[in-house]
């Protein structure tokens, strides 16, 4: 422990587990530093953030050396990674960082808890109830689907894989075999898939902190709003710890010899009182704000256990309290209303549910993921960012509609071709300068021979990042080598030097317009050169080789249409 105030480094990016961990440790009196997050993240607006550090992130070359230098310089009492893209690379390099206290699941069980299929095997042996399941590791296993009654619950065995930290593998619920097979085929490119029988019930989580297989404190929540196709909940309620679920959680934790924080997820049927085990979440979870607001202060508990050896934590928490993520909840409402289609009965049930849920805010039993009275700035920033996005979305839709009108599209294409023919300095810009813009720049070198200088850059504030492996593989199929590419950060000098700036989507164009207003008149969507109705060339970051190939095909088609 440092001589004066204890110090911790928190790694993450979201407004739920990351922000809650910052607040929990800050209220505990810990000096909180953060890293591996965007500088414009609303979470870094918290008054409890002492410093924001910007070492290279994995998988960028040199990240290990920069991160080690940060640890040596600051001498943190504890480092807490809050998401898998932070946890996985730290686990791979845990021997390199062994002189520093970094919270990771014990090495002996790390691979086990990160593999959902293996956790299910241990859970079954420990007596937990599981749904019928089929393991799919290749197309030869597709016949196993015949053992499962639809709808199908498709669960990637790993949410993230080390070779592609930018892509999360999501759970999906699909109604029939044909769509399930197509989805499994896509998932298998990243990870094996467990197909489970659907269980009718509500999502319930038992959150805990444990040491050597003993649960020291636990807290239970119930999901109130769940996305129709699966995924994280936007609205949750605290409830009394169910004895059966608590016993099941203790059995699993004991079988693993688990030390740390975690959440055992269940499906519970209130009518039959039956339940099944769903999965073990071995890091801080999305519903953490509810637990912290109800008195189950797991980040502070973790700090005290690992740094001070404490094991006596409170077991009583406030029940029947709710917590909402307002932005995600608006998306939930939109998706649920859309899924209800034209069914008046379903729309009426949804309306009645929302009316009944008003009792929580009306009786002051509701809190927010981002808004806290003692720390309002993250929520204020989130609100202003959301309000500012509305006119941008309207402008983007109008621009998109205009380019779908054939006469306007032809006119815009002719105008852009004229600008290209007169240009001597062309600059391609995307967000990170690792996927679209470097490919376009290198391909354009073979097509725009009249242009003296062709460069690429991005406005994401990290330089010297390589292109993802999938991008390099897809680019090679077009004769483009991205192996030696390293990203650059867009500067005023680059913008001033360019006669023409070519971007790929509306966000790119908006960012350049807001940062460099005088560059608006020379900034164009490259996709305007395409005959397609949509001029946007989406960001393939985190996608498969096939996804990159599809985007690179659009870029080459656009540039091939420029006369020599």
3-class SS letters over 342-371: CCHHHHHHHHHHHHHCCHHHHCCCEEECCC
- Burial category of 101 from C-beta neighbours within 10 Å (exposed 0-12, middle 13-18, buried 19 and up): middle
As a residue count, the chain comes to 564
pLDDT of residue 533: 65
Tell me the C-alpha distance between 171 and 46, whole Å.
Answer: 31
Residue in the block written with tokens 């619920």 = 173
Is the distance from CB of 437 to CB of 465 less than 8 angstroms?
A: no
pLDDT of residue 231: 72
Classified as helix, coil or strand, 429 is strand
pLDDT tens, 497-549? 999 999 999 889 988 988 888 898 899 999 999 977 678 999 998 778 888 99
- pLDDT bin (cut points 50, 70, 90) of residue 99 is very high
More confident residue, 265 or 194: 265
Clarify whether 436 is annotated catalytic.
yes
pLDDT tens, 383-427? 887 777 667 666 667 766 666 677 778 888 899 999 999 999 999
pLDDT of residue 402: 66
Helix (H) or strand (E) holding 58: none
pLDDT tens, 463-482? 888 898 889 999 999 999 99
* In the predicted structure, residue 167 carries a pLDDT above the cut 70: no
Tell me the C-alpha distance between 348 and 45, whole Å.
Answer: 40
R_g over Cα of the chain: 25
List the single range of 65-79, 240-254, 526-540, 549-563 with lowest mean pLDDT: 526-540
Q: What is the dihedral of CA 191, 192, 198, 204, to 10 degrees?
A: -50
Tell me the C-alpha distance between 355 and 360, whole Å.
Answer: 10
3-class SS string, 183-249: HHHHHCCCCCEEEEECCCCEEEEEEEEEECCEEEEEEEEEEEECCCCCCCCCEEEEECCCHHHHHHH
pLDDT of residue 564: 74
Classified as helix, coil or strand, 50 is strand
Q: Give the residue-averaged pLDDT of 76-97.
A: 93
List the single range of 181-185, 300-304, 465-469 with lowest mean pLDDT: 181-185
Q: What is the DSSP string of 487-525?
A: --B--HHHHHH-SEEEESSHHHHHHHHHH-GGGGGGEEE
- pLDDT bin (cut points 50, 70, 90) of residue 261 is very high
* In the predicted structure, residue 166 carries a pLDDT above the cut 60: no
Question: Residue 6: which of 300, 430, 426, 336 has the closest Cα?
Answer: 300
Question: Residue 499: which of 420, 386, 429, 390 has the closest Cα?
Answer: 420
Q: Give the residue-averaged pLDDT of 223-246.
A: 90
Question: Residue 410: which of 529, 250, 255 has the closest Cα?
Answer: 529
Q: Which domains does the chain have, with CATH numbers?
A: 7-104 (3.40.50.20), 132-197 (3.30.1490.20), 199-372 (3.30.470.20), 404-560 (3.40.50.2300)
Of residues 436, 442, 465, 509, which has the active-site annotation?
436
The tokens describing 451, both together, are 């242009």
List the single range of 98-107, 162-171, 337-346 with lowest mean pLDDT: 162-171
Q: Give the residue-averaged pLDDT of 103-114.
A: 91
pLDDT of residue 563: 86
Clarify whether 539 is annotated catalytic.
yes
Helix (H) or strand (E) holding 154: strand 152-156
CA distances (Å), origin 193, targets 156, 223, 359: 4, 24, 40
Classified as helix, coil or strand, 526 is helix
Q: What is the distance in angstroms between the CA of the first residue and the CA of the last residue of the chain?
A: 67
Of residues 239, 499, 539, 557, which has the active-site annotation?
539
* In the predicted structure, residue 37 carries a pLDDT above the cut 50: yes
Of residues 430, 435, 465, 505, which has the active-site annotation?
430
How do strand 31-35 and strand 7-11 relate by DSSP bridges?
parallel
Q: Name the DSSP class of 61.
A: T
As beta bridge partners, residue 222 has 204, 237
Residue in the block written with tokens 């912290």 = 292
Tell me the C-alpha distance between 301 and 25, whole Å.
Answer: 9
pTM reported for the whole predicted model: 0.74
- pLDDT bin (cut points 50, 70, 90) of residue 3 is low
Question: Residue 331: which of 236, 225, 203 has the closest Cα?
Answer: 225
* In the predicted structure, residue 2 carries a pLDDT above the cut 50: no
pLDDT of residue 56: 80
More confident residue, 204 or 182: 204
pLDDT of residue 91: 93
């Amino acid at each position: 422990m440092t001589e004066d105030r204890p110090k911790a480094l928190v790694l993450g990016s979201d407004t739920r587990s990351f922000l809650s961990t910052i607040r929990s440790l800050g209220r505990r009196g810990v000096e909180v530093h953060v890293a591996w997050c965007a500088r414009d993240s609303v979470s870094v607006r918290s008054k409890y953030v002492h410093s924001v550090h910007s070492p290279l992130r994995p998988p960028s070359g040199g990240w290990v050396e920069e991160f080690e230098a940060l640890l040596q310089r600051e001498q943190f009492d504890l480092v807490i990674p809050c998401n898998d893209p932070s946890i996985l690379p730290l686990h791979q390099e845990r021997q390199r960082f062994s002189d520093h206290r970094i919270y990771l699941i014990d090495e002996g069980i790390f691979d086990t808890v990160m593999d959902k299929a293996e956790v299910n095997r241990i859970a079954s042996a420990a007596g937990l109830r599981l749904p019928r399941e089929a393991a799919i590791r290749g197309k030869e296993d597709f016949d196993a689907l015949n053992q499962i009654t639809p709808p199908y619950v498709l669960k990637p065995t790993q949410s993230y894989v080390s070779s592609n930290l930018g892509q999360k593998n999501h759970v999906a619920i699909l109604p029939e075999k044909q769509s399930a097979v197509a989805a499994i085929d896509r998932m298998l490119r990243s990870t094996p898939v467990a197909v489970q029988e659907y269980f009718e019930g509500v999502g319930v989580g038992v959150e805990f902190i444990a040491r050597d297989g003993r649960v020291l404190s636990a807290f239970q929540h119930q999901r109130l709003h769940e996305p129709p196709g699966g995924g994280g909940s936007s609205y949750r309620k605290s409830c009394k710890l169910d004895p059966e679920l608590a016993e099941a959680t203790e059995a699993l934790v004991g079988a693993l010899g688990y030390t740390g924080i975690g959440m055992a997820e269940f499906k519970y049927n209130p009518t039959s009182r039956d339940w099944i085990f769903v999965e073990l979440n071995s890091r801080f979870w999305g519903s953490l704000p509810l637990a912290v607001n109800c008195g189950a202060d797991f980040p502070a508990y973790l700090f005290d256990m690992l740094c001070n050896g404490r094991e006596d934590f409170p077991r009583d928490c406030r029940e029947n309290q709710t917590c909402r993520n307002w932005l995600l909840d608006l998306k939930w409402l939109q998706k649920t209303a859309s899924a209800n289609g034209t069914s008046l009965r379903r729309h009426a049930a949804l309306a009645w549910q929302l009316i009944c849920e008003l009792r929580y805010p009306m009786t002051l039993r509701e809190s927010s993921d981002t808004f806290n009275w003692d720390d309002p700035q993250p929520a204020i920033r989130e609100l202003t960012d959301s309000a500012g996005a509305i006119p941008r979305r309207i402008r983007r839709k109008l621009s998109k509609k205009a380019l779908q009108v054939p006469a306007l599209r032809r006119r815009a294409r002719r105008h852009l071709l004229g600008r290209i023919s007169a240009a001597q300095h062309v600059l391609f810009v995307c967000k990170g300068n690792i996927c679209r813009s470097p490919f376009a720049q290198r391909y354009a070198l073979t097509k725009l021979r009249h242009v003296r200088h062709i460069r690429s850059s991005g406005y994401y504030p990290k330089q010297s990042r390589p292109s993802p492996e999938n991008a390099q593989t897809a680019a090679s199929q077009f004769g483009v080598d991205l192996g030696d590419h390293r990203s650059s950060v867009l500067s005023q000098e680059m913008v001033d030097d360019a006669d023409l700036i070519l971007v790929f989507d509306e966000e790119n164009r908006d960012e350049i317009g807001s940062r460099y207003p005088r560059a608006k008149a020379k900034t164009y969507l490259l996709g305007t050169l395409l005959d397609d109705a949509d001029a946007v060339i989406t960001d393939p970051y985190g996608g498969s080789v096939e996804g990159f190939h599809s985007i690179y095909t659009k870029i080459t088609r656009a540039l091939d249409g420029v006369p020599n």
